[in-house]
A and B are shown apart, each in its own frame.
Chain A
């Protein structure tokens, strides 16, 4: 009923190779984008922006970044939090040093700086892989957090070591600082998420993405067929860190407004984003969004249901919430180790054959 393919014919390679080959999917996607850009900004209030949608979009960008590295290129990384911190501190230094340059440019530059740092820490990946690489990137995480705590230049010598985002505007609307309206916050994050997801999708289905996947699936075989592991791995680290850096820059400047490196970008953040891509689905753009939604929205939802709806004590609710999220993660991974994206794909297959399965 839903996924009727009758009459949905492809007559060229171009139409066969598009991102959404099924017409209904495509329409659904257009409708979603239209609602996200044209409807939500008019309905959104402070609570929805700050507690739900803005963190979701920012974490989705970070998950996209890590998914490129871990999901597509097969390089395990536990340094995501540290790389987000690079993005945040880069954008802070740029914002305060060049107040007249547009914040959009600063955020992109912060991504670029993170890409360079990411490539630097990606160098060990040429020699080591798997668990060993995970430990090397973990070192990056600890080193970067220590660095931003230790060197006062990074936080402009402020007394408390915190960084605070000053007000910056895009097209005359404040997007950082306390006076930012909810729609402005949401729209800037949405624009970045939309464009970056589009870039990620096209990178991963192009030559670069195929090289990454070849390296992931079997690096020796990939090398024999002519994939240069050096460029493939380092490009994966660079692109991934670029995404993660932008997520960090947005997290600090648009969402939080002030940050303290140990807390905002600690090891927990690395784990959180790793969980997102594992639950969402490794090697999938949709999975990055689904995983981010799962990890960001579920705790808020549970909190509102348990405390707001049922009136439980807050500490009991907080503990139960941890347990529920934990159990759900385990349950999901047992039922479908390939994550939410695979569940969604299976549901689609079923619907396409409905009502006549084989």
Chain B
């Protein structure tokens, strides 16, 4: 009898607990543990808090409350798949796993399960081609845009010519870090700079030898594709070899407060790419304070509010909620399904006026998603760290990437995927 009871308990435990089906369900595949946990935590908080704000202030989206069940992935693909499987039955509308590895794993699955996958600034770049990747959205920007905008920034600094310059790429040796290599190779051919690729084994604390090489080669610029503990280690190493910080540019994911603060004054002048505004000078933070933080409903007590990654998590939630609104409008129902949400994404338009209405004026680039373009216009800005004031400041306007180089690459990669996965690209004209 006892064993029977125990067996029943075990079976019950293994079954995933299903939340109520009535609400809009937006799972948060977050990670708050492991070598990437410090960064993942802030993002997850911003993501949760924006939906809490919508629930508290507006009663949800179109009258439907939003549920954000969390599942810990530890940035591990196997756990990510487990999280996906355990939450997809609960009526999940969209996934945002904040991991390129998990994204690659989920891309084929979401196509079969018909659930949109939203990967702002990360994931598979060629998913921009909506004809092949029907269910994946990576607006407003992606990795190849980032590489191109970084190179454009160097061009601006050098009166439009990088002839004979040396650029080193320090990257996380994983799918995430390898993404920009093709683009940078093309760009080096176009602009005549030499590119050195320096892989760093995940999670990335060990990078002494790569920085010794940088010290010897003396590249003019270093681009970093890092995440988690790798960022702090790299910025510390760069400071140790006295590499000029203003010539050191990180990708979107290498530019948060926790990456630079451990290095102290040595990190002053470090630059990173971003696709949204920084700081708390936006009206939305007043609403967040009134409805979420002061009543004590903020995720983790609101200790990270206003940080770069918090803003980014919030921004992802903003885009998702706008897509939900659009889908509700198109289909004339508030209780939308995942398939209907995809239509919402494909008709999404975020204009400057709309951002202003949302309390986020000039926070992100204005962009539209269409059937064949799931990636928006790819615009990004550069932010720079002021170690004294402990603040990031935006030093460029939103810059468009070099479409001349990127478009053929995206077409080539997405067509290779279509061939591999036996997908016939959709016709978007009709």
A151-197 residues at the B interface, CB under 8 angstroms: 158-162, 164, 166-167, 177-179
- Of B102-110, B250-258, B343-351, B352-360, the one contacting chain A is B102-110
Q: Is the Cβ of B108 less than 8 Å from the Cβ of A257?
A: yes
> For residue B37, which residues in chain A have a CB less than 8 angstroms away from its CB?
315
A166–chain B nearest beta-carbon distance, Å:
6
- Of A50-58, A79-87, A203-211, the one contacting chain B is A50-58
Number of A-B contacts (CB under 8 A): 128
B173-224 residues at the A interface, CB under 8 angstroms: 173-176, 178-179, 181-182, 199, 201-202
Knowing A164-B420, A260-B77, A319-B33, the reply to whether A159 touches B179 (Cβ < 8 A) is yes
Q: Does A100 contact B (CB under 8 A)?
A: no
Interface residues on B, range: 35 or more
Q: Does B74 contact A (CB under 8 A)?
A: yes
Q: Is the Cβ of B86 less than 8 Å from the Cβ of A47?
A: yes
Q: Is the Cβ of B14 less than 8 Å from the Cβ of A161?
A: no
A126-162 residues at the B interface, CB under 8 angstroms: 149, 158-162
> For residue B32, which residues in chain A have a CB less than 8 angstroms away from its CB?
313-315, 318
> For residue A315, which residues in chain B have a CB less than 8 angstroms away from its CB?
32-33, 37, 41, 72
For B72-112 the 0/1 string (1 means CB < 8 A from A) is: 10101110011001101100000000001100110011011
Contact of A47 among B77, B85, B105 (CB under 8 A): B85
Q: How far is the CA of A315 from the CA of B299 in the complex (A)?
A: 12
> For residue B16, which residues in chain A have a CB less than 8 angstroms away from its CB?
47, 51, 304, 308
For A75-112 the 0/1 string (1 means CB < 8 A from B) is: 00000000000000000000010000000000000000
A164–chain B nearest beta-carbon distance, Å:
7
Q: Does B70 contact A (CB under 8 A)?
A: yes
Q: Is the Cβ of B33 less than 8 Å from the Cβ of A263?
A: no
> For residue B10, which residues in chain A have a CB less than 8 angstroms away from its CB?
301
Complex: chain B residue closest to A159, CB-CB: B182
Complex: chain B residue closest to A304, CB-CB: B13
> For residue B126, which residues in chain A have a CB less than 8 angstroms away from its CB?
159
* Chain A residues with a Cβ closer than 8 Å to the other chain, count: 44
Q: Does B381 contact A (CB under 8 A)?
A: no
Q: Does B64 contact A (CB under 8 A)?
A: no
Contact of A307 among B71, B109, B413 (CB under 8 A): B71
Q: Does A342 contact B (CB under 8 A)?
A: no
- Which of A304, A307, A314 has most chain B Cβ within 10 Å? A314
Q: Does B15 contact A (CB under 8 A)?
A: yes
Q: How far is the CA of A305 from the CA of B9 in the complex (A)?
A: 10
Q: Does B421 contact A (CB under 8 A)?
A: yes
Contact of A164 among B74, B104, B125, B174 (CB under 8 A): B104
Complex: chain A residue closest to B89, CB-CB: A47
Q: How far is the CA of A202 from the CA of B86 in the complex (A)?
A: 38
Q: How far is the CA of A45 from the CA of B113 in the complex (A)?
A: 13
Complex: chain B residue closest to A315, CB-CB: B32
Q: How far is the CA of A315 from the CA of B112 in the complex (A)?
A: 30
Q: Is the Cβ of B201 less than 8 Å from the Cβ of A309?
A: no
Q: Does A264 contact B (CB under 8 A)?
A: yes
Q: Does B30 contact A (CB under 8 A)?
A: yes
Contact of A177 among B15, B81, B108 (CB under 8 A): B108
> For residue B41, which residues in chain A have a CB less than 8 angstroms away from its CB?
315
Q: How far is the CA of A321 from the CA of B72 in the complex (A)?
A: 12
> For residue A313, which residues in chain B have a CB less than 8 angstroms away from its CB?
32, 70, 300
Q: Is the Cβ of B72 less than 8 Å from the Cβ of A159?
A: no
> For residue A158, which residues in chain B have a CB less than 8 angstroms away from its CB?
416
A257–chain B nearest beta-carbon distance, Å:
6
Knowing A52-B14, A262-B201, the reply to whether A256 touches B109 (Cβ < 8 A) is no
> For residue B112, which residues in chain A have a CB less than 8 angstroms away from its CB?
178-179
> For residue A177, which residues in chain B have a CB less than 8 angstroms away from its CB?
108, 421
Q: Is the Cβ of A159 less than 8 Å from the Cβ of B13?
A: no
> For residue A258, which residues in chain B have a CB less than 8 angstroms away from its CB?
77, 104-105, 108
Query: Can you identify 7 A-B contacts, CB atoms within 8 angstroms?
Result: A46-B85, A47-B16, A51-B85, A159-B126, A256-B78, A303-B72, A304-B16
Q: 5 tightest CB-CB pairs across the interface, nearest first?
A: A308-B17, A315-B32, A178-B108, A160-B175, A314-B72
